């Protein structure tokens, strides 16, 4: 059976204006004159290419008749009304506007609206069909060709190239299964055929959008749709100046940014699936649920999340022991237990050796598998083998903030500080969310250079047990801020009561430079610890 896909084009200006009039004439909007004025202003500025000027200050002057002394940081007037408008739009489309042809949304935290065709009945039909044909839906993603809205075929190359570049960037995230835009590049392919492909492959997420040209500028709308839920869950707009010399650079930059927002371990797709995974009963856990629980542990390291990840990974591997990725992740959990000197650390070290070798036999080309091997060599003090594995990891060109961050972390701790810090900086710049434990090596980077104020700034954001309070105490000791150091020392002793007797041994598990180990201990002694 065939269905019609939601169009990938964007609404015309005339269609958007009709929708505005319909909204402002509706019962919930018609008495809210100021809200309608705000809506009309935001849309007019966006349509006419001035969306970059939609700031709280400008809106306050143009819509709310404030003078030039208005301070948007102190006065929440614009934020309050924008929040109200955002909620009213959401309620409209959930109720009487469910079948409106055009949907207008204003993303939280921004004032720039975006527009899309609204066809919930078709979306729901697609999602129902996919769900019926696939008992479990993992992170399967298709990137449809971006629509060239310029009206002339000689601009097709950019829209199609952008979609293809985004497909390539997304393949660098190991957990995702990506279907590229190439099968849909033929302009004559029907919407029904696209839909049939999506259903047959069990594709959960669709990425598409459109490119509009305005002189030497392009305006790009990218959106993400969840086919199972029948809803658009993310969209963003990019305006870029284009020259003959920067076309490929622009494609790469936008594709790189969008792929990180959507595809990383801390991106929108895996976050959405993680929420669903939390509701899965232990007996129903599959490999992907276990992988999600591993990522959750990495994001918020706690005894509870560690136990959930362990239980899930052991459960799936007892049923299906051929997943190299899941095997490597279980080895990664044992790495954490060993390096943090948790109970049965010796057993965890033994399991790391067994599981890392098994994972390599199952999936030798997996970034995660090679990373676990590298960490094993790190722990064994085999520097040449460690560096060799790191080079293999980097040659895979992954964009995973978790895995690349681990590479930067262990490179730094093995004395390759500048190279490691460069990788860590890149990970942190490209990803709003990244593992908090990556701040450990950045703290040490500044500490070893005796830039203690910078080290403390990093340490204040670093909460990994027991290293967080330990590095903070050492840094505060070097700064002679002893009363503050007492608090960190008390926290450290609570987490690791015998730390003073084992300090050198525990720090040396992570830090491979004897001089730096002594430097850290010096700071702890200045803070008041007896080592």
Domains, the chain, with CATH or none: 13-116 (no CATH), 120-263 (3.40.50.10610), 399-531 (1.25.40)
Per-residue pLDDT of the chain (531 residues; tens, 9 = 90+): 222 233 334 677 888 889 899 999 988 888 888 889 999 999 888 887 787 788 888 898 999 888 888 887 788 888 888 888 888 888 788 778 878 888 888 877 778 887 777 654 444 444 444 444 444 456 888 888 888 776 666 677 777 788 888 888 888 888 888 887 766 766 566 777 777 777 777 788 989 888 887 777 888 888 898 887 677 888 888 888 877 777 778 888 888 888 888 888 778 888 777 766 655 554 445 777 788 888 778 766 677 778 888 888 888 888 777 888 889 999 999 998 888 888 888 999 999 999 999 999 998 988 999 999 999 999 999 999 999 999 999 998 777 888 889 999 999 999 999 999 999 998 888 765 677 788 999 999 999 999 999 999 999 988 777 889 999 999 999 999 999 999 999 999 998 899 999 999 999 999 999 999 999 999 999 999 998
Beta carbons of 404 and 416 less than 8 angstroms apart? no
In 3D, which of 246, 221, 25 has the Cα closest to residue 40? 25
pTM here is 0.65
Beta carbons of 179 and 164 less than 8 angstroms apart? no
All residues at 6 or more sequence positions from 168 whose CB lies less than 8 Å from its CB, including other chains: 180, 255
CA distance 476 to 98: 57
CA distance 174 to 167: 13
User: CA torsion sign, 425 to 427 to 432 to 433?
Assistant: negative
H or E element in which residue 24 lies: helix 13-25
In 3D, which of 60, 81, 59, 80 has the Cα closest to residue 70? 60
Q: For residue 517, what pLDDT is reported?
A: 96
Helix 191-200 / helix 120-133 crossing angle, nearest 10 deg: 30
Residue 321 is given by DSSP the state: T
CA distance 122 to 90: 19
Q: For residue 183, what pLDDT is reported?
A: 67
Q: For residue 83, what pLDDT is reported?
A: 84
All residues at 6 or more sequence positions from 492 whose CB lies less than 8 Å from its CB, including other chains: 466, 469, 470, 473, 499
C-alpha distances (whole Å) from 126 to each of 4, 31, 337 are 9, 37, 44
Q: Which two tokens stand for residue 88?
A: 């009213």
Residue 38 is given by DSSP the state: H
In 3D, which of 427, 424, 399 has the Cα closest to residue 173? 399
In 3D, which of 114, 111, 115 has the Cα closest to residue 60? 111
Query: How many whole angstroms from its chain centre is CA 11?
Result: 29
CA distance 71 to 81: 16
Q: Which two tokens stand for residue 222?
A: 């990218």
CA distance 10 to 163: 16
Helix 467-478 / helix 514-527 crossing angle, nearest 10 deg: 70
């Amino acid at each position: 059976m065939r269905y019609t896909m939601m169009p990938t084009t964007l609404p015309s200006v005339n269609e958007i204006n009709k929708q505005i009039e319909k909204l402002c004439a509706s019962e919930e909007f018609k008495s809210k004159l100021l809200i309608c004025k705000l809506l009309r202003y935001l849309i007019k500025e966006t349509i006419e290419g001035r969306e970059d000027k939609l700031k709280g200050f400008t809106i306050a002057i143009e819509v709310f008749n404030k003078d030039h002394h208005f301070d948007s940081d102190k006065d929440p007037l614009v934020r309050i009304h924008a929040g109200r408008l955002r909620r009213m739009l959401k309620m409209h489309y959930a109720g009487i506007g469910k079948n409106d042809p055009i949907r207008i949304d204003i993303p939280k935290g921004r004032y720039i609206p975006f527009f899309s065709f609204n066809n919930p009945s078709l979306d729901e039909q697609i999602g129902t069909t996919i769900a019926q044909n696939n008992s479990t839906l993992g992170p399967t993603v298709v990137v449809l060709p971006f629509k060239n809205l310029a009206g002339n075929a000689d601009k097709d190359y950019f829209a199609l190239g952008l979609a293809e570049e985004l497909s390539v960037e997304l393949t660098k995230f190991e957990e995702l299964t990506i279907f590229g835009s190439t099968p849909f590049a033929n302009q004559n392919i029907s919407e029904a055929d696209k839909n049939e492909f999506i259903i047959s492959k069990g594709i959960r997420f669709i990425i598409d959008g459109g490119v509009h040209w305005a002189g030497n500028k392009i305006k790009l709308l990218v959106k993400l749709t969840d086919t199972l839920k029948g809803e658009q869950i993310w969209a963003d707009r990019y305006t870029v100046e284009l020259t003959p010399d920067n076309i490929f650079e622009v494609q790469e930059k936008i594709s790189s940014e969008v792929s990180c927002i959507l595809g990383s371990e801390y991106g929108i797709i895996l976050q959405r699936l993680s929420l669903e995974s939390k509701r899965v009963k232990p007996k129903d856990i599959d490999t992907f649920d276990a992988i999600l629980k591993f990522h959750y542990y990495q994001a918020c390291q706690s005894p509870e999340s560690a136990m959930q990840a362990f239980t899930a990974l052991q459960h799936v591997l007892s049923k299906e022991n051929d997943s190299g990725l899941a095997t490597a992740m279980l080895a990664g959990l044992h790495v954490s237990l060993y390096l943090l000197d948790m109970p049965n650390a010796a057993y965890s070290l033994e399991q790391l050796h067994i599981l890392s070798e098994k994972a390599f036999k199952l999936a030798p080309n997996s970034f995660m598998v090679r990373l676990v091997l590298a960490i094993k060599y790190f722990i064994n003090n085999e520097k040449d083998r460690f560096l060799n594995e790191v080079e293999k990891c980097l040659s895979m060109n992954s964009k995973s903030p978790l895995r690349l961050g681990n590479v930067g972390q262990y490179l730094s701790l093995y004395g390759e500080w500048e190279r490691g810090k460069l990788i860590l900086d890149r990970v942190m710049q490209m990803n709003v969310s990244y593992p908090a434990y990556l701040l450990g090596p950045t703290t040490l980077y500044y500490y070893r250079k005796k830039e203690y104020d910078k080290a403390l700034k990093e340490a204040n954001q670093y909460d990994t047990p027991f290293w967080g309070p330990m590095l903070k105490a050492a840094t505060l000791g070097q700064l002679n801020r002893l009363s503050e150091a007492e608090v960190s020392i008390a926290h450290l002793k609570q987490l690791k009561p015998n730390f003073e007797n084992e300090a050198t041994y525990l720090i040396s598990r992570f830090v491979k430079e004897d001089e730096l180990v002594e430097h850290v201990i010096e700071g702890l002694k200045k803070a008041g610890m007896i080592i």
